[in-house]
Structure 1
Amino acid sequence: MTKSLPLMFQGTHSDSGKSTLVTAFCRIFVQDGYQTAPFKSQNMALNSYITYDGKEIGRAQGVQAEAANVQATTDMNPILIKPNRDNESHVIVHGKFYANMQASKYRSDFFYEGLALIEKSLNALSGSYERIVIEGAGSPAEINLNDRELVNMRVAKLANAPVILVGDIEKGGVFASLVGTLQLLSEEERSRVIGVIINKFRGDVELLKPGLTWFEEYTNKPVLGVIPYLDHLNIEAEDSVVLQQYKSDHDGEKEIDIAVIQYPRISNFTDIDPFFAEPDCDVRFVRQLKQLKNPDVIILPGSKNTIEDLLFLKQSGLYEQISSLYKSGEVTVVGICGGYQMLGENIQDPYQIESEYGQIQGLQLIPMQTVMNKEKVTTWSEGETTGENLSVKGYEIHMGESTFSTEERPFITLKDGRNEGFISGNNGLLGTYFHGIFHNDALRERFLNEVRKRKHLPPITGRVNFNEMREQAFDRLADHVRSHVDVQWITEQMEQFQKGETSYEHTHRNTGIE
Structure 2
Amino acid sequence: MITRALMFQGTGSDVGKSLVVAGLARAYTLRGLRVRPFKPQNMSNNAAVTPDGGEIGRAQALQARAARVPPSVHMNPVLLKPQSEIGAQVVVQGRARGTARASEYQALKPALMAAVLESYEKLRAQADLVLVEGAGSASEINLRAGDIANMGFARAANVPVVLIGDIDRGGVIASLVGTSAVLPEEDAAMIRGFLVNRFRGDPTLFAAGMDEIARRTGWAPLGLIPFFPDARRLPAEDALALDAPAQPKPDARLRIAVPILPRIANFDDLDPLDAEPLVEVLRIRPGAALPGDADLVILPGSKSTIADLEDFRRHGWDIDLLAHVRRGGRVLGLCGGYQMLGHTIADPEGLEGPPGSVAGLGLLDVETVLAGDKRLVAITGTADDIAFSGYEMHMGVTRGPGRARPFALIDGEGPEGAVSPDGRIIGTYAHGLFADDRQRAHWLARLGAAPSTLAYETGVEETLDALAAHLERHVDLDRLLALAR
How far is 1:246 from its partner? 5.9
Summarize the alignment of residues 367-406 of structure 1 with structure 2, pairs less than 5 Å apart.
Answer: 367-385=365-383, 387=384, 389-406=385-402
1:474 maps onto 2:456 in alignment: no
Pair 1:460 & 2:451 matched: yes
In the aligned structure 1, how far is the partner of 2:282 from the partner of 2:403?
34
Q: 1:291 deviation in Å? A: 4.2
Give the match for residue 15 of structure 2.
Answer: 16
Q: Partners in 2 of 1:215 and 1:41 — Cα distance?
A: 28
Aligned alpha-carbon RMSD (Å): 1.6
Q: Could you give the per-residue CA deviations for residues 256-284 of structure 1, whole angstroms, max 9, x where no partner exists?
A: 11111101110110001001111211112
Q: Which residue of 2 aligns with 1:274?
A: 272
Distance 2:82 2:331 in 1: 27
Q: Which runs of 5+ in 1 are unaligned?
A: 499-514
Matched, 1:363 2:354: no
Cross-structure match for 1:442: 438
3-state SS, counterpart of residue 142 of structure 2? coil
Q: 1:290 aligns with which of 288, 292, 297?
A: 288
* TM-aligned CA distance change 1:83 to 1:248, over 3 Å: same
User: TM-score normalized by structure 2?
Assistant: 0.96
Deviation at 1:3, TM superposition (A): 3.3
CA distance in 1, matches of 2:348, 2:137: 39
Matches within 5 A, 1:132-171: 132-171=130-169
Offset of residue 254 of structure 1: 1.2
Q: Per-residue displacement from partner, 1:162-204 (whole Å, max 9, x unpaired)?
A: 2110001111100000000011122222222121111111122
SS of 2:237 mapped into structure 1:
coil
Would the alpha carbon gap of residues 442 and 12 (structure 1) be closer, same or farther in structure 2, given more than 3 Å must change?
Answer: same
Whether contact under 8 Å (1:62, 1:72) holds in the other structure is: yes
- Contact 2:403/2:418 (CA < 8 Å) preserved in 1? no
1:419 to 415, 421, 441: 415
Q: Secondary structure at 1:148's aligned position in 2? A: coil
Q: Is the CA contact 1:353–1:374 (under 8 Å) kept in the aligned structure 2?
A: no
Q: Distance in 1 between matches of 2:102 and 2:315?
A: 29
Moved more, 47-56 or 150-159: 150-159
Do the aligned partners of 2:363 and 2:420 also contact (CA within 8 Å) in 1? Answer: no
Deviates more, 1:255-264 or 1:200-209: 200-209
Tell me which residue corresponds to 1:72: 71
- Distance in 2, Cα, partners of 1:246 & 1:203: 20
- SS at the partner of 1:354? coil
User: Partner residue of 1:492?
Assistant: 482
Q: After superposition, give the CA deviation of every residue in 1:14-36 in whole Å (9 maximum; x if it has no partner).
A: 00111111111111110110011
Alignment of 1:41-440 (within 5 A): 41-108=40-107, 110-233=108-231, 234-245=233-244, 247-250=246-249, 253-288=251-286, 290-294=288-292, 295-329=294-328, 331-356=329-354, 358-385=356-383, 387=384, 389-406=385-402, 408-424=404-420, 427-440=423-436
Match of 1:503 in 2: none
Question: 1-side partners of 2:255 and 2:402: how far apart?
Answer: 32
Give the Cα separation in 2 of the matches to 1:246 and 1:437: 24
Q: Which amino acid aligns with 1:16?
A: V
CA displacement 1:315-335 (0-9 Å, x = unmatched): 110011112102211x22111
Write the distance in 1 (CA, Å) between the matches of 2:121 and 2:210: 37
Q: Distance in 2 between matches of 1:419 and 1:323?
A: 27
C-alpha change, 1:307 and 1:246, in structure 2 (3 Å) is: farther
Instruction: Report the Cα distance in structure 2 between the residues aligned to 1:161 and 1:84, rounded to whole angstroms.
Output: 32
Question: What is the percent sequence identity of the aligned residues?
Answer: 37
The letter of the residue matching 2:198 is K
Alpha-carbon distance in 2 for matches of 1:242, 1:417? 35
1:155 & 1:391 partners in 2: Cα distance? 44
Shift of 1:79: 0.8
How far the C-alpha of 1:407 sits from its partner, in A, is 6.1
Contact map agreement 1:84 1:305 (CA 8 A) in 2: yes
Structure 2 gap ranges (5+): none
**2:14–2:238 CA contact under 8 A, matched in 1:** no
Q: Which amino acid aligns with 1:269?
A: F
1:139-159 deviations in whole A, cap 9, x for unaligned?
122111101111111211233
Aligned to 2:404, the other structure's residue is in SS state coil
Q: Deviations over 1:319-359 (max 9, x none)?
A: 11112102211x22111000011111111111122233621
Moved more, 402-411 or 61-70: 402-411
**1:427-471: per-residue Cα shift (whole Å, max 9, x none)?**
42221101111111111101011111xxxx6x325x211111111
In 1, the alpha carbon distance for the partners of 2:22 and 2:115 equals 23
Counterpart CA distance in 2 for 1:359 and 1:426 is 28
